[in-house]
Structure 1
Amino acid sequence: MDTIDVIQMRFVAARDLHKTIVDEVPQLKRGILWCTKCGHTTSIDAADALRNGWPRHCGYTMTIDSPEERAARRSPATNGKE
């Protein structure tokens, strides 16, 4: 096996790894991101975003957690703030 074959195999394995991660995380699998500052939403290919960089909005990294999921996660000690 030559060097090119090894590099190609590693590239395919890395692509498969990102897809496997997405398939295991429901928030990634749905492919929707939210801006925590303004509420903007966008659809993504999560495996591609994991490989190439996560989207940003309003100067911040977008979240995979919906507003409802973030609200349910808030504790009384935070007074409703994230």
Structure 2
Amino acid sequence: MTQTKFHGLRGFFITTMLRRGMSAIDVMEIVSHQDIKTTMFYVGLAGSELEGTTETLADIGRSHVPEVANLDEERKKREEKKGS
């Protein structure tokens, strides 16, 4: 029987969340990564960096443009939520 180690299971959990469409910022918060670069390593493993990207092309030229969240602002919002 092959022995499974904790970090192997953790990596599987992270890549599964990413493959199912969870944002890297949300995954980073759930698994308590201190640096987004650590989470982005798993994005590459999950192959999710390309998944769904062509669907966003349909929005080009439409009246709404999604805002890009600043990582620090997102963290502040989450901390405020936790404090409430």
Q: TM-score range by the shorter chain?
A: under 0.3
Larger Rg over CA atoms:
1
Which structure's residues are more often helix, by fraction? 2
TM-score (norm 1): 0.28
Which structure's residues are more often strand, by fraction? 1
